[in-house]
Structure 1
Amino acid sequence: MSTARMENPTSIMGLNKPNGQFRGPLKPVGLTSGSLATAPEPDAHQKGGNIPQGSGGIRFGDDWKKCLQLPQKDCRFRTSDVTSTKGNEFEDYCLKRELLMGIFEMGWEKPSPVQEESIPIALSGRDILARAKNGTGKSGAYLIPLLERIDLKKDHIQVHVVIATPGRILDLIKKGVAKVDKVQMMVMDEADKLLSQDFVVLIEDIISFLAKGRQILLYSATFPISVQKFMAKHLSKPYEINLMDELTLKGITQYYAYVTERQKVHCLNTLFSRLQINQSIIFCNSTQRVELLAKKITQLGYSCFYIHAKMMQEYRNRVFHDFRNGLCRNLVCTDLFTRGIDIQAVNVVINFDFPKNAETYLHRIGRSGRFGHLGLAINLITSEDRFNLKSIEDQLVTDIKPIPGSIDKGLYVAEKPNQS
């Protein structure tokens, strides 16, 4: 279970301004070699899979790996956030053949550190409290054991896999639409948010409807002290995973540019002209500023979409879908877009408005540098932001440096994947 996300929405082209898509020209950004991301390879489910229908799956003795439709191999550099593993393979966990096929066809070659730590424990049925950085494979750490433990012969909700807010899920339960009395596994992704004062009462109410012996898995990059109280009440001898030797991703280089409010758009225009941006996400602190900035970026001649919480969900889905598929280079948004969003092509995050706290900053810049890849975070700092800048540096034990006149492309531009 997680907070609301936008997965596999239908793409409808030609949306106009109120729907979040400004259709400016696809003006090249930085060097001409910087290209937009192409649409991702369809996953096994979208292709219809490779298992013959009605055959009961691949039979014992078949060379099932020959049937795989593997995506293009990703040969980009990856940091130790995802490469410092024990050397385990996905095949070591005795997973279902069909699940293994799906894992490999997604392009996942080996488990990341958080997946190595989490998968065997989750399969054993033990509660887990896992803390790992954004973009290091937390979703796979719980989705793989979740899918493995589902029994397709049982016609009831087993892990209550629902994409919704806690309030909506609770409403479905109380109306009898979602029958969860046989649920054996509950996963909370972005658990710090779900266990905050805004949601923890709802979460505890949901738990009261579950089977008594249920397993609870908590995953997040940050855990406030309040989680300890919840853990003591609802988790049974949880296995704790902490892979947070530092809070920020190793592959993200952070800079700040000291500007006045009036200079921000000019500074942004300069960044667009000098950086080799594949895709960028630009954060503002209000919905009004998001729309105004997106319009200004389009007037400057750059392709730009925008997204914020006041837009209809249908329009947000479409904007996200099109941006993820590389139809636009720049996306302006509010903090709606800081959690649970994985777009591998994003290599630059710009805080047009600097955030107020360290948690928001951490989740924002974590939209780049996904799964050990390189990324760049640039913060536009006014005189009012200087105290927040110092505070966030101290809390995250990180170094945000003044922006240099020229930024080394090697810090945020990866080589293209090998075509072979």
Structure 2
Amino acid sequence: MGIFEKGFERPSPIQEESIPIALTGRDILARAKNGTGKTAAFTIPILEKTDATKNIIQAVILVPTRELALQTAQVCKELGKHLGTQVMVTTGGTSLKDDIMRLHQTVHVVVATPGRLVDLAGKGVAKLSNVTMLAMDEADKLLAPEFEPVIAQVIDFCAKNRQILLYSATFPVTVKSFKDKWLRKPYVINLMEELTLKGITQYYAFVEERQKVHCLNTLFSKLQINQSMIFCNSVNRVELLARKITELGYSCFYIHAKMQQGDRNKVFHDFRAGSCRNLVSSDLFTRGIDIQSVNVVINFDFPKSGETYLHRVGRSGRFGHLGIAVNLVTYEDRFNLFRIEQELGTEIQQIPQNIDPAKYCR
């Protein structure tokens, strides 16, 4: 019922491959891009295998950022709504006291960032000895050198017969060494061929730096925007641009890494709830954030790397949704544009006078 109410009609490829394997109890190493339904691929088997009648923590989901933790916990709660499964989210930057109080009540699944969880487990507040399922999302980020010792601690707190589900968009060396050390005969899934840019029509407009705001204004007046995300390359530019957009008379929020966590949560929540049409963001916000109604992504500043481009543009047109991406490209950006096209094997076309609404409006 939870799956049905969430509006999922058929499993995406990553879900089809991982759910049956996860249910057998085998470790999984899955490589899949954002927007392919990764979150449900591990939350569904976790919820299925959790026994809501037992008052113990049975599963842990680790993610690298607070925003992703909140979003993943939300998916967990929605999918497990009719199971009586109690999901708790705990991340750094929030009140430790509240978490301790919450852990005195029933919790079956914990969604967490690693540092905070180790803190709670070390204090003996979060009892992880019955945790038989551990999922790690965005594992390439979680296994960065600064995180890895903490992850090892989390695993040591879990049950000896635990199952590990590892999901990552890229497989750097750290992921390989982690796999060799901790995973037992993992089932390997690789769905990287399915570019998240499917369903997204990409355009570029050659502009001078000083024409960018004017160009953006034109786009706003011409496009049928449900919701848009506009990316800048620096925190200062995010705030300046948000101010400019507001002066032009459009509703606009902004979000970046230097904001207080509470403010970030509020902006994310309000934008997601649809209380504002446009969101200006720095790259903090590109990974794994899924807002269904975003149908236009604008790179106000063109990104430097293919990976950043993919993560930004992969926001719109996520699994089964259509979207367009418009890149404002200056003379200096032209080599990056060409390089990213080659690297991602995709085509970024020159923007036409009129864009067919069928390409991005359902």
Residue 168 of structure 1 is matched in structure 2 by 116
Distance of 1:380 and 1:213 partners within structure 2: 52
8 Å contact kept, 1:338–1:364: yes
8 Å contact kept, 2:36–2:196: no
Pairing 1:335–2:283 present: yes
Pairing 1:106–2:6 present: yes
Distance of 1:195 and 1:386 partners within structure 2: 34
Q: 1:407 aligns with which of 352, 355, 359?
A: 355
Deviations along 1:146-204, one digit per CA (max 9) or x if unpaired, are 00111123222111243442222222222222121221111011112112234223222
Distance of 1:123 and 1:354 partners within structure 2: 42
Q: 2:206 aligns with which of 250, 255, 258?
A: 258
The alignment partner of 2:312 has SS state of helix
Amino acid paired to 1:217: L
Deviations along 1:227-248, one digit per CA (max 9) or x if unpaired, are 2121111111111111222433
8 Å contact kept, 2:30–2:188: yes
8 Å contact kept, 2:35–2:196: no
* Mapping of residues 222-261 of structure 1, within 5 Å: 222-261=170-209
Pairing 1:395–2:336 present: no
8 Å contact kept, 1:308–1:316: yes
Distance of 1:184 and 1:315 partners within structure 2: 35
Aligned length: 314
Higher relative helix content: 2
Deviations along 1:238-276, one digit per CA (max 9) or x if unpaired, are 111112224333101111112221111111111111111
Task: Give me the CA root mean square deviation.
Answer: 1.6
Distance of 1:396 and 1:141 partners within structure 2: 25
The alignment partner of 2:296 has SS state of strand
Residue 122 of structure 1 is matched in structure 2 by 22
The alignment partner of 1:371 has SS state of coil
Higher relative strand content: 2
8 Å contact kept, 1:248–1:396: no
Question: Percent identical across equivalent pairs?
Answer: 71
Change (3 A) 1:136 1:260: same
Distance of 1:366 and 1:123 partners within structure 2: 29
Change (3 A) 1:394 1:224: farther
Residue 131 of structure 1 is matched in structure 2 by 31
Amino acid paired to 1:110: R
8 Å contact kept, 2:164–2:183: yes
Deviation >6 Å, runs of 4+: none
Indicate the structure (1 or 2) with the bigger Cα radius of gyration: 1
Residue 308 of structure 1 is matched in structure 2 by 256
The alignment partner of 1:364 has SS state of helix
Change (3 A) 1:269 1:295: same
Residue 14 of structure 1 is matched in structure 2 by none
Residue 66 of structure 1 is matched in structure 2 by none
How much does 1:290 deviate?
Answer: 0.9
Which of the pair has the greater relative contact order for Cα pairs under 8 Å at 6+ separation?
Answer: 1
8 Å contact kept, 2:196–2:318: no
How much does 1:365 deviate?
Answer: 0.8
* Mapping of residues 129-208 of structure 1, within 5 Å: 129-160=29-60, 161-208=109-156
Residue 72 of structure 2 is matched in structure 1 by none
8 Å contact kept, 1:133–1:249: no
Deviations along 1:283-332, one digit per CA (max 9) or x if unpaired, are 11122111110010000010101111222222222211111111111001
Distance of 1:344 and 1:282 partners within structure 2: 16
